Structure formats: structure tokens, C-alpha cells
Structure 1
Amino acid sequence: MVRQMEDDNVTDVSEECPPSYPHSAEAKESLFAAFDPALFRRNSEAVVARLESHLADLSVRGLDLSDPGALSRAARALMTTERETIADFDDKRLAAIVDLYVRTGIQVHSPGYMGRQFSGTVPLAGVVDFVGSVVNQPSSYYEAGQLPITAERIMADELNRFIGWEPGRFAMVTTSGGSLANLTALLAARNRACPGIWARGEHRGRGRPAIAVGEDVHYSVTRAAGILGIGESRIVRLPLDRRGRIAARRVPAVLAAAERRGLEVFCMVASAGTTALGAFDPIDELAGIAAGRGIWLHVDGAHGASLLVSDALRHRLRGIEKADSLTWDAHKLMFVPAPCTMLFYRNAQDAPGAFQRRVASYVFDEEPDAHCEFDSGDRNVECTKRPMIMPLWTLWAMYGRALFAEKIEHLCRTTNEAYGVLTEEPDFETLHQPEANILCFRYRPQGIGEDQVHRLQLRIRKQVRLAGRFFISKVNVRGVAALRVVLMNHQVSAEHFRMLLAEIRTTGERLLRDDDLA
């Protein structure tokens, strides 16, 4: 007899025959074959051989941008037509899938890749990520991922040596990306400033909750304001100086004006490496302003926090020890697979404040033991979470800090060399001296009209991308489009940059000659 809960009443249900499942020895054999360790080894060796060839190819290549319809047809052609039984394994099909995957992606290991902030990984990091995919140990709860959670604690201590918070008093959690880390930090800041808002959904303070951000803040922060119900009208925009940094001396007046409008700024967001220019806000000065007004200071260091591991570059984040929280993407300038983001809190008690309630009974232990203190599910949006720290910890364990510091310094040095090359080219306009590894500029020959500059940059970028040798990005700087390079690959040299400029010049001359700016 089966007992069923229905509308809080226990009712008896007539005993039914169990469902009948189709079964055969052949079907069972096919099922088990898909999990065969020998097949796993054969697949792995075949894929590794192809990836080794891919990594060894240092030719200058950008993006092979496929027609979406053609790519869809190619992908569908690789799918088995078997619908009723498990298809026999086809080595050639797997090889074709891997080749298509590699060929159609951005070539992050090529000297032609200069366009985005995600990086070619240290190959060992990919190997460890592969291990994580096979053993599949989610890392929000100690019992599910013992080593990943232990590694999180170790890396938190290791990296805090460069942040400078009091050992044992701070906290770190990993999140799937900087956007999620920024949102989580803003939640913690809001809940500290508005203690009743989580339960009641309302704030009983002296003004309407608001956040203050630089004009060039990453869009994830403004999105977070919408998600939190703050609204764009309560985002206080802080002015920038000519270097693209928050102009600290003008901040007090802006905050005072916001207060007169009935806004209560509970959090100020500074950037350590803005997405557009790679600019570093003056954290030390902003921290003093925030502390004087009781405002939480969050630093979005998704891109630039990694400079902390370099003795030569750490000064870019002067004052970071005074911040309340810090977002740090390791999948950018620490060269591990994405996502791997770390969210640090100066005060460990603020970490669970982002989510002011216990998690569900199936993960919350009513009789906690020593292992439970390592759980992070109560401090994170995510329940199931990849063991993203493992590639970073393994690299740190194997190579130490110097691997990261030397590559970061090399990239920043090469970016400054590229800036020097630009200053010698009369038909190019430099927009800033790079503070890290991001450089923005424009192709602007004599005689070009002001009304043509914006469209010309957009068209150049599109044509360069379609040509397939270089991959660069674009961004609006003070309302006008600019070409943007992000040097993430240590194989890129000043000579590669000169090759890029030559292609930009040729492309721009052709567009202007053909009047192709419509």
C-alpha cells in the first residue's frame, strides 16, 4: 500500500503495479560502455593530442567568424541520427566535434588575439579543470568538495598577504564570475545599512538607499542596482578625471548633493582596472571619504586586483586594505579557466550578511560539527558550484607567486611599449597612457571630419575582425568610439602590435577612399 500526502492529509492510494521499463542485455552493455574507463583514456589521449597541436600553433590569427546558419548546419551534421538506442561510439565524430570547437572560438593563444579580458590559460590549469570535470565535486559544502574548500581557505590566506587585512578576521568566497561577486557584495552592503529590508522589503532609514559609482563602472554594478530594487535613478554618478579615474576631490560635493535629493548612499564602488581604459580609481582617497560618511567601499578589481601579486605594480591599488570588499577575477590576469572569481570581505561577519536566512534543510546541518564551518553555501547565491579554485591553487602550489607576477609585468610592459609605438605614428591618436594591459586609441589621419571619426573606428574594427588575422575590441571613450587592445598573451610583442597598426591603417585608408562609412 502506498501512502500519499495530499493537502496536508494522509490518504491511502490503491496499490498499483510498478512501471515496466524496457530492458535487454544489449541495452545494458551500451549504457555501461559509455562509462568505460578504457574508452575515457582513449578519448582523452585523442583530445589532448589535438590540443597540443593547437597550443603549438603560434601563427597570427584572429577569429574565424562563421555564418550562424552554416555553423548550425555543421554542428547538426555531427549529431547521431540514432533515436531509439544508444549510438555506437564514433572516434571520427568526436575528432570532428573537437576540431570544430577549437576552430570557431577566439584564438586566445595566438599573437593575433588582443581583444578581450579573458586569457589563454596556463596549460596545467586546463588539466586540473579537466580533473574537476571528471571527479565532479561541487564546492559549496565541505562534504562534497573537501580539497576545493580547503584550497579556498589556503588561497584566501595567500592572497590576503597582498591585500593586508587582519588574518583570521576577513573572509573569502568564490563565485561564478565578477558580476555575481559584485551583486553579492552590494547585497551585503545593503543589508548592513538597511537591516530590516531582507525580511520586510522596506527601508526605514533617513533617505532612499542609493549607491555611488564612477561614470565608467562595469555594467554589472548598474545591473545589480536594478536587481536590488534600487533603480537607476538612485545611482549616484561620480565624475572622472582625464585619466578615467574617479575624481576624488569632487566626490564629497556630489555625495552632499545626493543627500539633499533625499538619497542615502550606503555603498561606493571603486574600480581597480576599469573595463574601458584599465584605469585605477584612487582607492586610498575614496576609502577616507567613505569611512567619514559610514559608507561601505566595494572595489571591483575583477581585472586589476591581480596586480597585487606584483611588487612593481601593487601600488596601483594603494589603500586596498581600507576597502570593505573586493572582487577579484582569477580567470583574467591569473590565467586560469573561467569562471574563477573570489569575493573578499574585510570583516568576516559581513559575508553571511548578504543572505540573512538559513539555507534549506537538505544542506543545513541541524547538528553542526567542525566540518560545517568550512561550508560557504550561506554566503553565496550558488548551491552547486564548480571547484573553480583548484586550477588557481594548483598553479600557486606548483609554481608560486612569481609565475603570475612575471607574466602580469610582462603584459603591462608590452602594453607600454605599444603605447610608445602609437606616439610615433602621426595618423593615430592616443587617448591615455596605460596603467595596466589595456590600451585605447583611434585611427585619425589628417583631413578626417569630426563627424567621421566615430563611424570610422567601428568600421575598422569590424573589417579587421572579418579579415581573421587580428581580434581587437572597441569602446566609447568620452562618447566617441575607440579601438581597444587588451594584451593577455605573453606571445604578443611590439612587432605584432606594429603589424596590427599596419592592417588598421590599410583598412582605414580603403574605407576613406571608398567613402564606406555609411
Structure 2
Amino acid sequence: MTDSLARMQIADGGSGNGEKWNSVDGDLAEVFDPLNFHQAAAQCTLRLWRYLDDSAVKGLDLVEPAVLMKAARELMTDERERVADFDEGRLGQIVDLYLNTGIQVHSPGYMGRQFSGVVPLAGLVDLVSSVANQPSSFYEAGQLPNVAERLMAEELNRLIGWDPAEFAMVTTSGGSLANLTALLAARNRAFPGIWARGVAEEGGRPAVAISEEAHYSVSRAAGVLGIGEEQIVRLPVDGQGRIRPDGVVPVLDAAARRGLKVFCLVASSGTTSMGAFDPLDELAALTRPRGIWLHVDGAHGASLLVSERHRDRLRGLAEADSLTWDAHKMLFVPAPCTLLFYRDGDAARGAFQQRASYVFDEEPDVYSDFDSGDKNLECTKRPMIMPLWTLWSVYGPALFARKIDHLCAMTGQAHRMLRAEPDFTVLHEPEANILCFRYDPAGLDRTALHRLQLAIRNRVRADGRFFISKVDLDGVAALRVVLMNHRIGAEHLAMLITEIRTTGQRVLRENAARDDQKDGDQR
């Protein structure tokens, strides 16, 4: 050791004579102490155990923001001058408040959104990822996550059907970002000079064709790319919310006459509104001769590939160019975990074209071959593949297939039960686990029917037993259930139908009484 280095060591608290020293002061050492972490983890695990063990029918306890702000503020330490001592009670109250004010995704009463309760083991692996903190865009930073990503790509591509030597997959933070990235790759293929010269110099008017039922992230991505709203080509859908193949060519021809160059058609495998699956085989037959990139937004429904019973919903996927697949939806892992697949691996590298010496190697080798930083927007990216790969490794694909099959079966059961009720109208036949319907007693006009659905949804949510969502279909609100919980059975569906009917009748009585009162006042 040089004299100068020794002097620095002594100044920082070392002895300079070979004795062990530690430059971390006591406050920081306490925070990072493994025993303290063990105790804190035990606190959290106990509460999560109780949370998972609770089979009560619960929806959402919607707390006024001001009330929740006050409760949360009271849990914040007043200490500002030093690191506060660890308060086990404070941590317990924070976790309790977190769990109690969230959507109860593990309850049979949760039927409202497209995120699900995770397989508990996946949560533990996510904890390991958080503490180990290995960003996974580059192999050297996250070795196992990058290997796991390659392994899961191979496993899932067997279900897609692309050439194993040609395809590519990257993980990214959410379906919205995956759709944006795929559109970038498609645009850059159609307009090779646009990255360097921009839209004005490249020539042509880039346009995207999307379903009227496409997720809003697609039109948002088009906006980010500088494609104006007038250059988003809208494709007609049928009564089930699926793109009508017979309407595609006329729309594309009309767009061409307007001087638009449609470089990508976005199909949906599981629309957000009704869970509709577009006919991929027919769309591929229309786009391929025109050189149009076919991107499939399968954020919700791509997971049906894991099920032998339901994978036919994605028939024709092998002819598409790219696929967005949210594992945090129907593969039951923590969000976000989105998989973006490309049929042509070279196209994946075409989405981005920057180079940076501090992360990209000048001389590629066996390690950098696993890097994904050149294919996704994120430089620092969570090792989001680890929970999925661990579940697949420990339990195998049957875990996911069994749960998906159950959810689709229960949605079919809900469809049959509602059709048997004369005061309900079912709006489509479910293709997966999403179902839309209305409480529809006779004699209501469109405006009154719309307001009734909104009132029912809000009151059911406020009552706290069931959490359902709503969506506008043909300009009129509809009630919407998304079955994501394997605990849901026919008895829970019957309870929900009864609650909706009771709530709807109460709203109608109150409206009638209010109208009578108004008429009396006018007399």
C-alpha cells in the first residue's frame, strides 16, 4: 500500500496497520444489516400470508384521497437530522395500509381489471430481484436474467411457430412500450432513412392501420412517432369487436388515394373492451402482398397459446411480423413483464440505431450476444423475466394452462347464466375471460340505460364486495367483468348477478321517486 493510500485509509477510520476497518457509519450499517432485513421480511411475509389466506369476497375499499393522505403522512418519521431507528410497528402499519387500500386481486370479488393476483412464488422471486438489483439490458449486469430471457423465448416461440434460428424476443416494461417499439421497427423498415433524415426528408406520409377496438396505446404510439391522428387508418369491426377482413382492402385503397403509406397494420388478440381476437390468418393474407408489417397486440390474449383448448384463437400468428405479450396479465406474474417477439431478429435491431461506447461493445463476443440494450428503449431494465422463468422451471407450463382454462370456463358459465336472466342483456359471446353485459329492464331509452349502468358500477364498487369495470359499447355504457382469479366459481357469479340486480332496482326506485317529487313540485 502506498503512503498516500495509507493516509487516506487512516483518515477514513482505518488503523493503517492491517486491522479491519469499515468506512460505513453506524446509521448506514444498521439499515443494511442482514438480521434487520430478516426481521422486516418476516413482518411483511406474515401479513402477506394473512392476505393470501383470506378467502372473503372483497372488491375495493375506495378511500377518499385526503383521508388516505392523512393516514400515510402520519406514518412518516419526523426525523430529519439522522437516520431514524427502524420501527417495526411503523413498517407493519405501512404494509397493512398498502394491502387494505388496494384492489383485492386474490379475492373472488375481484372481476374488474386485466391484472391478476400473482402466483405467490413469483412475488418471492421478484423480491430477490429487487434486492439483488441486476438490470438486465446487458449480460454483464444480469447474467442469469439474460439467459432466462433466452430460454423463455425458446419455450414460448414453440407455441408461436417462428423459425427458431431467425426470431428474436426482448422484455420491456409494459405493452404500451412494446407496441411503440414494434411500430418503430416497422416504420424504420418501411422508411430506411427516416432515423437519420426525419419524416420530411424521407418522403411519403407514414400511416398505421388499426382496429376501432385497438388499445389506446397504439394511437398514442403513433402520436409519439409523429404520425398525426388523420394518418391513423381505422378498420371496421364486426359485432364481436373483431376486424372485418372484407373491409380492410377498401380502407387501405382509400388511404393510398389520400397519399398515405400504411407501413403497419395492428391486430388485436384480446381487445381490452370485449376480449375479441382478430382473424390473424386472413389479415396476414391481406398485408403480406402489400409489404405491410402485421403487428399483433396480444398483451392480454397471447397467453392462450399456452392452452391446448384455446390457442386456436391465435390461428395465423406464425404469419405475423411481431407480437406483444403481457405475462403480467394471464401468466400471473408481477407487473410489468412484457415480451416483445419478432419473426425476423434483424428487424428487432432496426428499432433503434444509437451507439454508446459506455454500454455497447465495439467487438461483439459470446457475452454481448445476449445483450438486449440495442433492441429495447430501456437502458436500465428490471430483470422482469425471472418470476416467469422460475414458475415455468418449478411448475411447468401446465400451471398456466390450468388457470387459463378455468378462467375461460367460468367466463363461459357467466355468459350462460346471464343469458338465462330476462332483465340482463349479454352483448357478445366471450372468446376468453372478458364479458360485457347490461342490466336492462324493459322500457329504458339509451340515455337512461347508459346512466343506469354507470350508477350500478359505482354503487357496486362502493359497497366493497365486488369490483367490476365498465366500457362504452355503441355509445352506451356496459358492465364488464374480467375473470383473473382461479378462486372464482359459479356461486360467486350468482352472487354478483344478484347484487347487480338489487342495486339496479334500487337505483330505478330512487329515480322514480325523484321524478315523482319533481312532478309534485311542478304542480
TM-score by length of 1: 0.94
**Residues 446 and 476, structure 2, Cα contact 8 Å, conserved in 1:** no
Stretches of structure 1 that go unaligned for 5 or more consecutive residues are 1-19
* Cα offsets for 1:96-145 (capped at 9, x unmatched): 00000000000000000000000000010001001001101000000000
User: Helix, strand or coil for the counterpart of 1:484?
Assistant: strand
**Deviation of the 1:448 alpha carbon:** 2.1
Match of 2:113 in 1: 116
Match of 1:507 among 492, 503, 522: 503
Match of 2:438 in 1: 442
Q: After superposition, where does 1:56-75 map in structure 2 within 5 Å? A: 56-75=53-72
1:292 aligns with 2:289: yes
**Deviation of the 1:207 alpha carbon:** 3.5
Match of 1:370 among 366, 372, 375: 366
Match of 2:484 among 459, 484, 488: 488
Q: Distance in 2 between matches of 1:495 and 1:120?
A: 20
User: Helix, strand or coil for the counterpart of 1:269?
Assistant: strand
Q: Distance in 2 between matches of 1:75 and 1:251?
A: 52
* Cα offsets for 1:371-391 (capped at 9, x unmatched): 011111111100000000000
Match of 2:453 among 451, 454, 457: 457
Match of 2:280 in 1: 283
Match of 2:323 in 1: 326
Match of 1:11 in 2: none
Q: What amino acid is the match of 1:437?
A: N
**Deviation of the 1:60 alpha carbon:** 0.3
Give the 3 Å change call, closer, same or farther, for CA 106–376 of structure 1 in structure 2: same
Match of 1:171 among 148, 168, 174: 168
**Deviation of the 1:447 alpha carbon:** 2.3
Identity %: 67
Match of 1:12 in 2: none
Q: Distance in 2 between matches of 1:217 and 1:109?
A: 28
Q: After superposition, where does 1:51-90 map in structure 2 within 5 Å? A: 51-90=48-87
User: Helix, strand or coil for the counterpart of 2:199?
Assistant: coil
**Deviation of the 1:369 alpha carbon:** 2.2
User: Helix, strand or coil for the counterpart of 2:166?
Assistant: coil
Deviates more, 1:100-109 or 1:25-34: 25-34
**Residues 27 and 86, structure 1, Cα contact 8 Å, conserved in 2:** no
* Cα offsets for 1:40-83 (capped at 9, x unmatched): 11111111011001000010011010010010010010011011
1:470 aligns with 2:458: no
User: Helix, strand or coil for the counterpart of 1:264?
Assistant: strand
Q: What amino acid is the match of 2:403?
A: K
Match of 2:154 in 1: 157
**Residues 474 and 482, structure 1, Cα contact 8 Å, conserved in 2:** yes
Q: Distance in 2 between matches of 1:447 and 1:171?
A: 55
Q: Distance in 2 between matches of 1:225 and 1:231?
A: 7
Q: What amino acid is the match of 2:85?
A: D
Q: What amino acid is the match of 1:201?
A: G
**Deviation of the 1:242 alpha carbon:** 1.1
Q: Distance in 2 between matches of 1:134 and 1:396?
A: 22
Match of 1:214 among 211, 214, 219: 211
Q: Distance in 2 between matches of 1:436 and 1:341?
A: 19
Give the 3 Å change call, closer, same or farther, for CA 324–83 of structure 1 in structure 2: same
Match of 2:190 in 1: 193
Q: Distance in 2 between matches of 1:194 and 1:442?
A: 46
Match of 2:230 among 229, 233, 236: 233
Give the 3 Å change call, closer, same or farther, for CA 89–445 of structure 1 in structure 2: same
Match of 1:10 in 2: none
Match of 1:268 in 2: 265
**Deviation of the 1:366 alpha carbon:** 2.3
**Residues 196 and 203, structure 1, Cα contact 8 Å, conserved in 2:** no
**Deviation of the 1:357 alpha carbon:** 2.4
Q: After superposition, where does 1:311-350 map in structure 2 within 5 Å? A: 311-350=308-347
TM-score by length of 2: 0.93
**Residues 194 and 202, structure 2, Cα contact 8 Å, conserved in 1:** no
Q: Distance in 2 between matches of 1:26 and 1:259?
A: 68
Q: What amino acid is the match of 2:170?
A: V
**Deviation of the 1:473 alpha carbon:** 0.4
Match of 1:9 in 2: none
Q: After superposition, where does 1:17-28 map in structure 2 within 5 Å? A: 28=25
**Deviation of the 1:368 alpha carbon:** 3.0
Match of 2:93 in 1: 96
User: Helix, strand or coil for the counterpart of 2:350?
Assistant: helix
Match of 1:380 in 2: 376
Q: Distance in 2 between matches of 1:337 and 1:295?
A: 34
User: Helix, strand or coil for the counterpart of 1:377?
Assistant: coil
Number of aligned residues: 496
User: Helix, strand or coil for the counterpart of 2:25?
Assistant: helix
**Deviation of the 1:250 alpha carbon:** 1.2
Q: What amino acid is the match of 2:165?
A: G
Q: What amino acid is the match of 1:162?
A: L
**Residues 206 and 264, structure 1, Cα contact 8 Å, conserved in 2:** no
Q: Distance in 1 between matches of 2:166 and 2:404?
A: 29
Runs (4+) off by over 4 Å: 203-206
Q: What amino acid is the match of 2:272?
A: T
Q: What amino acid is the match of 1:186?
A: L
Q: What amino acid is the match of 2:46?
A: A
Stretches of structure 2 that go unaligned for 5 or more consecutive residues are 1-10, 13-21, 516-523
**Residues 474 and 483, structure 1, Cα contact 8 Å, conserved in 2:** yes
User: Helix, strand or coil for the counterpart of 1:354?
Assistant: coil
Q: Distance in 2 between matches of 1:113 and 1:434?
A: 18
* Cα offsets for 1:141-170 (capped at 9, x unmatched): 000000000000000000000000001200
User: Helix, strand or coil for the counterpart of 1:202?
Assistant: helix
Q: What amino acid is the match of 1:432?
A: H
Match of 1:415 among 402, 411, 416: 411
Q: What amino acid is the match of 2:443?
A: G
Match of 1:184 among 170, 174, 181: 181
1:256 aligns with 2:262: no
Match of 2:39 in 1: 42
1:305 aligns with 2:302: yes
Give the 3 Å change call, closer, same or farther, for CA 26–156 of structure 1 in structure 2: closer
User: Helix, strand or coil for the counterpart of 1:92?
Assistant: helix
**Deviation of the 1:206 alpha carbon:** 6.8
